Amino acid sequence: MFDRRLVEYFDWGLLLIVFIIVVAGLGILYSAVSAGAPGATHILFEKQILWMCTGAVIMFSSLMVHYKYLNKNYIMIYALCIALLIGVLIFGRNISGSKRWLSLGHFAIQPSELMKLSLIIVLASIYSSSVSDEGMCFKELLKPGLFLALPFLLILKQPDLGTAMLLLFISASMTLFVKVQKKVFFTILLIAAVALPLIWIALKDYQKMRILTFINPDRDPLGAGYHIIQSKIAIGSGMLFGKGFLQGTQNALSFLPEQHTDFILSVLAEEWGLMGCFSLLFFYLLFLLWGFNIAYCCRDMFGSMLAFGITIMIFWEIFINVGMVMGLMPVVGVPLPLISYGGSSIITNMAGIGILMNISMRRFS
């Protein structure tokens, strides 16, 4: 039953922050797609609004059921997402050499996005029942490690290096949040250092080129380095206050690639300048602080871990995307949360935000 006390505890502050980011994102997206073919602007913009509305319905629907039900059903949620990932490899659409999308009638979903939220629920459930003051040992890390390994390998197989990296970062952050023994921490660092050469050998040629181009974009200015170079030009040309709405030349002349997805922040920087970027990052910072505060104030460990995991997921998405467009990280195809075009990303983030609100509203219980 829906408790009327939840209305009193509804998190209006978090909702307002999300609303501001979403509205800003729609404005940026409209500008980003305006340089496309005639009619494309309205199609992509209308699809984004549809995804936002769908995400809002999912967000508010998630408030109806206590978040602790996720703890009881985490195996089922995880199994469903694994089934979708396997389905992608078998039935998925092959686009530009990658199988990442699963067609469902007129729509397509990216199960790897949903897997991020599923893994957070799994880790929150496992860690909430095994946390200790001494820190977790190798034996206690074996189970969450196995839950991570399967989706990580399936997503690498697509291949989708960006989302696979996000799973690692989210898992590592949540693991450190519950605390591990010092000897375990340093041993894992040593294993990671030894594994780096093996990981490099396993990477595909285009993935190696992205990393080499990140180190030196000028090695292939018309190929792999083109994205980063054009993004830097767009960011630099915006200067302090930008060129104005719909006035960005890098975007309008289609020099900026993937301007409505991975490099949408470059559009904002060119049209609204440094101040526009700072304004968006300020609201992102408010969101992150709000989410971490929910995790800190939650009275049960599962809710605290869940809130932390969702917040850290969005932190890493912001961090990687901003690093990509500034040339500080390799281009790995991570969208800017609630801003970049894409239905699966929006659905996942809005569902996560709904769970955050759910935890915040039930802080009295």
Query: pLDDT digit string (tens) for 277-322?
Result: 999 999 999 999 999 999 999 988 999 999 999 999 999 999 999 9
E strand or H helix at 74, and its extent? helix 74-91
Is residue 65 within 8 Å of 360, Cβ to Cβ?
no
Q: What is the pLDDT of residue 353?
A: 97
Q: Give residue 160's pLDDT.
A: 86
Domain that holds residue 278: 5-361
Model confidence pLDDT, tens digit, residues 195-219: 777 777 777 776 677 677 666 666 6
Q: List pLDDT tens digits, range 231-267.
A: 888 888 878 888 888 777 666 556 677 778 888 998 9
More confident residue, 309 or 8: 309
Q: How large is the average pLDDT for residues 176-187?
A: 84
The predicted structure's pLDDT at residue 118: 96
Higher pLDDT, 120 or 40: 120
Residue 1: exposure state from Cβ atoms within 10 A (0-12, 13-18, ≥19): exposed
Question: Residue 21: is its pLDDT beyond 90?
Answer: yes
pTM of the model: 0.90
Work out the pLDDT band at 112, boundaries 50, 70, 90.
very high
Question: Is residue 330 very low, low, confident or very high in pLDDT (cuts 50, 70, 90)?
Answer: confident
Q: What is the pLDDT of residues 237-247, one digit of tens each?
A: 878 888 888 77
Residue 3 in this model has a pLDDT that exceeds 60: no
Return the pLDDT at 180: 83
pLDDT band at 1 (very low <50, low <70, confident <90, very high): very low
- The yes-or-no verdict on residue 175 having pLDDT over 80 is yes
Count the domains in the chain. Answer: 1
Higher pLDDT, 7 or 306: 306
Q: So what's the pLDDT on residue 247?
A: 77
Mean pLDDT of 119-125: 96
Contacts of 235 (CB under 8 A, 6+ apart): 266, 269, 270, 325, 326
Question: Residue 231 to residues 18, 42, 226, 238, 345: CA-CA distances in angstroms?
Answer: 26, 24, 8, 11, 22
What mean pLDDT value characterizes the chain? Answer: 85
151 pLDDT above the threshold of 80:
yes
Average pLDDT on 55-61 reads 94
Under DSSP, the state recorded for 217 is: G
C-alpha span between 71 and 298 (Å, rounded): 15
* Of residues 322, 292, 288, 285, the one with CA closest to residue 306: 292
pLDDT, position 131 = 74
So what's the pLDDT on residue 127?
A: 92
Instruction: Kindly give the residue spans of alpha helices, DSSP state H, lying in 105-257.
Output: 111-128, 138-157, 161-178, 182-202, 205-215, 226-238, 249-252
Q: Does residue 40 carry a pLDDT above 60?
A: no
Instruction: Give me the pLDDT at residue 183, please.
Output: 84
Per-residue pLDDT tens digits for 127-147: 988 777 777 888 888 999 999
| The predicted structure's pLDDT at residue 196 | 78
pLDDT band at 56 (very low <50, low <70, confident <90, very high): very high
